[in-house]
A and B are shown apart, each in its own frame.
Chain A
Amino acid sequence: MMIAACLDIGSTWTKGATFEVDEERNSVRILRHSSRPTTVGNLSEAFLGVLDDIATDNPLPMIRRGLMKLQYSSSAKGGLAVAAIGLVPEVTLEVGKIAAQSAGARLTQVFSYHLTQQDIISLEARQPDILLFAGGTDGGNSQYILSNAQRIAESAIECEIVYAGNRSVADDVKAILAHKKLRVVDNLLPSFDEPSPEPAQEAIRTIFLDTIVKGKGLDTIVSATGIAPLPTPFVVLEYARAIHEHVPGWEEFLMFDMGGATTDVYSVHRESPEAGTVLRGIPEPKVKRSVEGDLGMRVSAHAAARVEGAARRAALGRADVNLDTLTDYADKLIAAPDYLPGNTHEQVMDTLLAGICVGHACSRHVGRWARMYTPEGEVKVQTGRDLTKISKVIGSGGWLSRQAGFHPSGWFSDHSIDARGRNVLVPHQFDYYRDEQSMFPLLANLAREYPRAAARAGIGMLVR
């Protein structure tokens, strides 16, 4: 038997639980759990408070003496902001976006081809935590990279820079950016059609540990406990991988984590196209995360209500709500992010916002197919991942965890055809599960030490 304390520092709540893990039987029992409002000025206050609440004894000596394990994650301050530079939007920039999001980052800005003066100005004005700089396959294009490196060198950009582009000019980039905080890693697209996002992801996580952790009290936690945090979305992505590996029947699934500011989508899926389907575009990873910064229930409510298209028309029509009413409600939410619906009408609006977020986030996460006619007959041309046959979908995060009556199916099918007439590969028939006790971020931390036990426990706690 082992006792493990797991905590997650979110932007509004710091949550924690202690688990008793039976390694032989791979079972997990929750001993205590607690949550406190995140102390934004000094994250260690709420953290150490929650740790005290959940520990059976004085926690810090227990951790130091190895009597209790500790793992924790943080998404405070809105997580890790990454700006990505690629060459062609559909090629190195696309791989860069997936690499950053799967490392747990939030994309703040993206750039392709030559960086313009305007691009540099906007990077200087809204400096990310990390600038992910890619472009060119190994031995491929170098002009764009060298010119972009020069622009960055002459700029006032001070953040960490990760270079993950054409290896042939890595030394030149190193020389040009010698006065910046630069890390050079292997190319994220060493050869065309063979993405390799892992070295860039590893660098992003290391920088998170080395620098982002400093200040705001996270360093206090590290020195008190001797243990470093990881970005919450990264821990959850690895948890999805653990579920895929250790829980029979859960080889493939889709998961949403919807908060006030963003909607995160995770999926585990291996592409196996049927005969008559031609796959186009850069291959995607088996475990993928995407995060939508304009889709959320509170801070991003207004942006979510503003996403135009047939899906929103259908949703408003079904709920019999007009657009002005919805945007007025969204404005109210932005002014008071803690607001909870006061009557049935407002509950309808909350459901409407949630449905819009879940639908759009799903549609952006999945691939497309279009029918093409060839002399050999009809062919399906597919880009991105086909999740139509996914049979299990999980909802987590505050609102989705609580809403027993909500089912995403109808919100997905609003998106089945996109504006260009292509089929959107959203799930068709599936069982919907809720992480009712919001245990996933905590179990994800537990999974770092006990992947099998934590994966099984999490699935066991889901409700239909």
Chain B
Amino acid sequence: MKMTTVVLGVIGNDCHAVGNKIIENSLTQEGLNVVNLGVMVSQDEFIDAAIETGAKAILVSSIYGHGEIDCEGLRGRCIERGLENIILYVGGNLVIGKRDFSEVASLFKKMGYDRVFSPSVELTEVVENLRQDIARLA
């Protein structure tokens, strides 16, 4: 069976590299083909990689608190560039201050992300969700 490809990276001017490597390793062990763009990735770089590799999902991380600014508009940009059906996930320390996570989740869902993850999420849960969402696409 063809391996499922996902694009992974840390968005914006964020250079937190450690968590990104951990996510890459976990997802690879789960049998996914991970295209890891590393840190400081722009919205267009995520989309470029997803188009070329035929990825089913883009997994965006943001650790440094500017997620709200960096992540806004990615869904629209995907549609503009022909990725109508791509799955978008986002996770990390998405906002600054102590805001309730459900509030944060609904903020990012409104931006068009299919799922929003808190920093404490189990990666196995992310993979489980991915499998379901991809199956629903097919």
- Chain A residues at the B interface, C-beta cutoff of 8 Å: 87-88, 90-92, 113, 135-137, 139-142, 189, 191-193, 278, 280, 372-376, 379, 381
Can you identify 30 A-B contacts, CB atoms within 8 angstroms?
A87-B52, A88-B48, A88-B51, A88-B52, A91-B48, A91-B49, A113-B82, A135-B52, A136-B52, A136-B53, A136-B54, A137-B53, A139-B3, A139-B53, A140-B54, A141-B51, A141-B52, A141-B54, A191-B53, A192-B49, A192-B52, A193-B35, A278-B39, A280-B45, A372-B13, A374-B13, A374-B14, A374-B40, A375-B65, A379-B15
Shortest beta-carbon distance, B17 to chain A, in Å? 10
Using CB atoms, name the residue of chain B closest to A379. B15
- Quick check: A374 and B48 within 8 Å, CB to CB? no
- Chain B residues near A (Cβ < 8 Å): 2-3, 5, 13-15, 33, 35, 38-41, 45, 48-49, 51-55, 64-65, 82
A residues less than 8 Å from B35 (CB atoms)? 191-193
Asked whether, in the complex, the Cβ of A375 is within 8 Å of the Cβ of B52, the reply is: no
Given known A139-B33, A280-B45, contact A192–B53 (CB-CB < 8 A): yes
Residues of B near A91 (CB, < 8 A) are 48-49, 51-52
Instruction: Indicate whether A373 sits within 8 Å of B13 (C-beta atoms), given known contacts A91-B48, A278-B40.
Output: yes
Report the bound CA distance from A92 to B49 in whole Å.
10
Known contacts A88-B48, A139-B54; 16 additional CB pairs below 8 A are A91-B48, A91-B51, A113-B82, A139-B5, A140-B52, A141-B54, A192-B35, A192-B52, A278-B39, A280-B41, A280-B45, A374-B13, A375-B65, A376-B15, A376-B64, A381-B40
Interchain nearest-CB distance for A421 vs B (Å): 16
Which residues of A lie under 8 Å from residue B14 when comparing CB positions? 374
Which single residue of chain A is at the shortest CB-CB distance from B14? A374
Residues of A within 8 A of B41 (CB): 280
Q: A141-B52, A141-B54, A189-B52 are in contact. Are A372 and B40 (CB under 8 A)?
A: yes
> How far, in whole Å, are A140 and B33 apart by their CA atoms in the complex?
11
Q: How far apart are the CA atoms of A141 and B7 in the complex, in Å?
A: 13
Complex CA distance for A381 and B37, rounded to whole angstroms: 14
Q: How distant is the Cα of A379 from the Cα of B16 in the complex, in angstroms?
A: 12
Q: How far is the CB of A194 from chain B (nearest CB, A)?
A: 11
For the complex of A and B, list the 8 residue pairs with the smallest distance between their C-beta atoms, beginning with the closest.
Answer: A140-B54, A140-B53, A141-B54, A374-B13, A88-B48, A192-B35, A137-B53, A372-B13
- Tell me the smallest distance from the CB of B8 to a CB of chain A, in Å: 11
Docked CA distance A92–B48 (Å): 10
A191 to B49, alpha carbons, bound, how many Å? 10
Distance from B95 Cβ to chain A, minimum over Cβ atoms (Å): 14
Instruction: State how many angstroms separate the Cβ of A279 from the closest Cβ of chain B.
Output: 9
Nearest Cβ on chain B to A205's Cβ, whole angstroms: 26
The contact of B13 among A136, A192, A379, by CB within 8 Å, is: A379
Chain A residues lying within 8 Å of B48, measured Cβ to Cβ, are 88, 90-91
Given known contacts A139-B3, A372-B13, A374-B14, is B33 in contact with A87 (CB within 8 Å)? Answer: no
How close is B132's CB to chain A, nearest CB, in angstroms?
22
B78 to chain A, nearest CB (A): 13
- Min Cβ gap A170→B in Å is 15
B64 pairs with A375, CB closer than 8 A: yes
| Residues of B close to A88: CB separation below 8 A | 48, 51-52
Task: State A376–B39 Cα separation when bound (angstroms).
Answer: 13
Q: List the B side residues contacting A191 at CB < 8 Å.
A: 35, 53
